[in-house]
Structure 1
Amino acid sequence: MSSKTWLILHKRTVDRFYPKFGKRLFDLVFGVPGLFVLFPFILAIGIIVKLADGGQVFFRHQRMGKDFRKFYLYKFRTMAPESEKKGLQITSGEDKRITPVGRFLRKYKLDELPQLFNVIKGDLSLVGPRPEVEKYVNLFLEDYREILLVRPGITDFAAIEYRNEEKVLAKYSNVEEGYIKEVLPHKIKLYQIYLEQMSLTTDLKIIFQTLWSIVK
């Protein structure tokens, strides 16, 4: 990518008032109180995960962040202990590695709650393109040169549309191939739409849509 192209992308994506100055403030104003309010639930879920099979409470996985900086994304562990080392980095609805407790947590997106710590640390935004693993980022490198001009987020248009991503992936005989050839390219288009529409209003809209999609 030429320096001229990069400057055009930068101006279009992040060189605006809200992305440049307001978005981090938005994350802290809503993220810090949100963490305090939800901390009792986070603690309770952690105890349940531990008691269920004695394994680790949290699962951490390296993802690509803003400006291609790597960071560890935190979730509640939803698969059997050590099983994440024995299979694909993506899961489908039929994945036998997922525990009964984990299936419940995934259904209501409760496994994502520890990512509030990532928000406070500055790894994530509340709203933004979902963070991806390096392997898949490298397959769509030109697209991610723009996408990773901003912090990834906990939720966005793609997270809402693929609310039941595991069920979508379950229809493919080769889950990873389906993800690479169909699901991820569509997600990338939704990420790009978000970058074009990124604003305080858009972020509030996405948060409310996310909450509604979980409780409805």
Structure 2
Amino acid sequence: MGRWKSWGEIPSFMKNDFTLKYYRHLSKKRTSMAFKRIFDVVMSAVLLVLLSPVILVLAIWIKADSKGPVFFRQERITQYGRKFRIFKFRTMVNDADKKGSLVTVGGDSRITKVGAVIRKYRLDEIPQLINVLCGDMTFVGTRPEVEKYVMAYTPAMMATLLMPAGITSEASIRYKDEDKLLEAADNVDETYIRKVLPGKMKYNLRYLRRFSLLTDIRLCIETVLAVLH
């Protein structure tokens, strides 16, 4: 998690009355945010060690299944609008982001056989522990979007950039079958921006209002249970 900036240091594209309201609220929770970062560092380091055999097996499986790199790297947006490159296991054909929409729909022909299994159990998210350890992401927070979708944010949505992007969130749990919702859309990008994104952002903004370390731990547990279910 990056240094908490003064209001004067906040990027101008984020500044509006909505963001200011959430900024003032979160400024009172600086101690909780410090503990959040400690939790992120400790847990991501521990999980990377514990899951290293799983990571190795998945890497070999992905390479044996299709041509291309093990990891999918894409530029996303995190705290204060900063760009970073996310780590995910590749679940689609190589250069899939250049062969279709930036979001995935159910039955997407770009998804590989192994990728379908990995996505089903959210195993493609495991490498993001590296992003958490580096401080680009956190365990719980608004999912990182590509710049194209961030530029479509409403003034209220900009407030979510006050904190680092997350691996999971209440919105992620509620919209875990997002790809199926987009499957019947004529224009996937437009449907995502106009219908899916606003719905997810209601949960993301509510998270900012209710932020606490205990809330983070609860959402992590709920995510695990949702995946197992």
Same fold (TM over 0.5): yes
Counterpart secondary structure, 2:133: helix
Partner of 1:162: 175
Q: Report the Cα distance in structure 2 between the residues aligned to 1:70 and 1:6, rounded to whole angstroms.
A: 19
Q: Are residue 34 (structure 1) and residue 59 (structure 2) matched? A: no
Report deviation, 1:6: 5.1
Which of 91, 98, 101 in structure 1 is aligned with 2:104?
91
Residues paired across the two proteins, number: 216
Q: Percent identity?
A: 42
Letter in 1 for 2:175: Y
Letter in 1 for 2:115: G
| Contact 1:14–1:149 under 8 Å retained in 2 | no
Which of 61, 73, 85 in structure 1 is aligned with 2:74?
61
Partner of 1:72: 85
| Contact 1:18–1:199 under 8 Å retained in 2 | no
Q: Report the Cα distance in structure 1 between the residues aligned to 2:130 and 2:225, rounded to whole angstroms.
A: 23
List alignment gaps of at least 5 residues for structure 1.
none
Higher helix share: 1
Q: Report the Cα distance in structure 1 between the residues aligned to 2:108 and 2:95, rounded to whole angstroms.
A: 14
Q: Which runs of 4+ in 1 moved over 6 A?
A: none
Distance 1:2 1:33, change over 3 A: closer
Distance 1:10 1:47, change over 3 A: same
Partner of 1:44: 57
Report deviation, 1:11: 1.7
Q: Report the Cα distance in structure 2 between the residues aligned to 1:15 and 1:105, rounded to whole angstroms.
A: 40
| CA RMSD, Structure 1 to Structure 2 (Å) | 1.7
Report deviation, 1:83: 2.5
Partner of 2:186: 173
Q: Report the Cα distance in structure 2 between the residues aligned to 1:172 and 1:4, rounded to whole angstroms.
A: 34
Partner of 1:121: 134
Q: Report the Cα distance in structure 2 between the residues aligned to 1:80 and 1:38, rounded to whole angstroms.
A: 25
Partner of 1:103: 116
| Contact 2:16–2:155 under 8 Å retained in 1 | no
List alignment gaps of at least 5 residues for structure 2.
1-13
| Contact 1:76–1:111 under 8 Å retained in 2 | yes
Letter in 2 for 1:78: T
Report deviation, 1:143: 2.8
Q: TM-score, normalised by structure 1?
A: 0.94
Distance 1:18 1:154, change over 3 A: farther
